[in-house]
Structure 1
Amino acid sequence: MEFRDLKKQYQALKERMDKAVIEVMTDCNFISGRQVNELEEKLASYVGVKHCITCGNGTDALSMMLMAWGIGEGDAVFVPDFTFFATGEVVSFEGATPVFVDVDPDTFNMDPVSLEKAILAVKGEGKLAPKVVIPVDLFGLPAEYDRINEIAHRYGMKVLEDAAQGFGGMYKGRKACSLGDAATTSFFPAKPLGCYGDGGAIFTNDDEEAQYLRSIAVHGKGSFKYDNVRIGWNSRLDTMQAAIMLVKFDAFTEYELEDVNKVAAWYTDALKDKVKTPVVPEECYSSWAQYTIQVKSEEERIALQQKLKEQGIPTMVYYPKPMHEQTAFKGLKQYVPCPVTEKLCNTVVSLPLDGYKEVSEVDKIKTHILGESS
């Protein structure tokens, strides 16, 4: 069994996918081809924002947006303690200081109460200037943006939505990637909408931000490629990946998003009486980057993973270590406790999930988790 079955997805899309790739190779327009612009326009329209700027990967997308906002030394950026390393890494990369806050035990997303406590602690100390909040739409589920935006804006801060795992999700009728002052996503192959390599995008309604982002993505270009008006870097989504994603985007919007929600519902119905299953609040819609259950202890998790592995069922742990315990962040002050994160790191385990799973596969997993016949 595949954890996320990209092979089955390719077989379903093979005819269109092969045609799209061959067209790029035939045209030999590998960088900044028409497919890139077409993809950006489709993604911006889908999300409901003015500008989509594609780039090399989701990490670059976060860094570029922080650059656009002038974030640097002496600034505090608030990040969930329970997330992938990149969300905090980009803050340090820009010379600012990540401040880790706890998450909700049911949704895994940034806890607004912990966030405000951290902001007040930083302001009270007076050494750092609170500038940005980066909520993460973890495992496909948007964070609680009404409360987070209100808190951030009340303290004069911006909100950068990290929707690396959240593309396709919704919060109160609004699409992920439209929920903060700006947003980013990732097209890593295993994401809800993935390419066949690395890729990312930034979403903004601000014309000046969009112009700046397009400039720094190509060595700080001005009116043309060899007019360099600022220091930038090289972070572009290549034409091949854009062509692949145009095919995948159609499948994503036509049936994959609906189908992955159907598979997640099968899981929840099968497992809700045995383990703690994911919670999707009524006002939200998840794109299900992962289906993550909670068990009672690390020992129980190890035993469950081994049991499933023996049956050819892969599992993953996202994430085994809190951000504040990462060696790279050694020496950073922890402004608020994060007991929920610490517990989750010992008790979460993610099960195989994609829109191409059959109910028989879910039944097989159920059987071995419940320890009985389905």
Structure 2
Amino acid sequence: MAKADAIKVAILGASGYTGAELLRILLRHPRVRIVALTADRKAGEGIETVFPQFIGLGLPKLVTIKEVDWSQVDAAFCALPHGTTQEVIAGLPPHLKVIDLSADFRLRDTAEYAKWYGHEHLAPKLQDEAVYGLTEIRRSEIANARLVANPGCYPTSAQLPLVPLIAAGLIDADDIVIDAKSGVSGAGRGLKESSLYCEAAEGTHAYAVASHRHGPEIEQELSAAAGRPIVVNFTPHLMPMNRGMLSSIYVRLQNGATADDLRAALLQRYAVEPFVQIVPQGVSPQTRHVRGTNACHIGVFADRVKGRAMLFSVIDNLMKGASGQAVQNFNVMFGLPETTGLDQIALFP
């Protein structure tokens, strides 16, 4: 495609980790031309002063959102902090396709959003329009969407193994334990005491116990799969690594199912999916094997406790858990091959 006819893209919030990851992917996307980068506090600077890895690439300077010429933009990736995106997107022109990486449009119930995020939803009419963007599960809806709410990293790693098994009635939807662990980049680039090297290195701990905002997002989508409200036990942990996510999921088997049945169901469901791989029997998936990719690797094990099984799901929290899945959704929205710009092999070691 000629460059003049490329899909013109703006990245809002380009100075954060997910913004940088979007840049890394989109710079090698054959159908994209990056025309605008925003970062209010860094406006007027070159992106290479924020992320030196982008030096010499001729990228546009950082500007404020108000300075963007939206008539020259076809699609916007919003990598802005939670709680700031609703009003921003409400103010964008209606011709834009928008992929929002924040949590601002993930919860369909605006009252539930207010409960978990501490303020009223600021764009309820847009919420009615937003499509939840777990690509493998909601592909047809995403294809026709103008606004896609990109899923959180923990919900992505938990839902990909669980949704097909709940929908098939192979596990008890009322007895699910999700023990999840994330790299420090999941907390964002902002200065936080808990993200300092001495606070995060050489140790691990649970956080936001029984109160993490990804809990209701996970329950919303698993309830949709079950056809009724369900509640899960979900606890996140911080790991001393830059990126990566492991969800260890403990389930009770149902209707005479075995762990082999779970594995067979997942193999069938994801047989033609480019980014979801069921690892060989007896293999435990590792975060290092998906680092820098849009892949999700899933392993299935029989528990030694009769009638139970264990699922292990790994993703790169900045890729399949954020920017990679956002580009995957962008490709679906524009009718492009889903893997366009996303065919990276994992960085190892």
Same fold (TM over 0.5): no
Highest Rg: 1 or 2?
1
More helix by share: 1
What TM-score results when the alignment is normalised by the length of structure 1?
A: 0.28
Query: Which structure is higher in strand share?
Result: 2
With normalisation by structure 2, the TM-score equals 0.30
**Structure with more contact order per residue of length (Cα contacts < 8 Å, sep ≥ 6):** 1
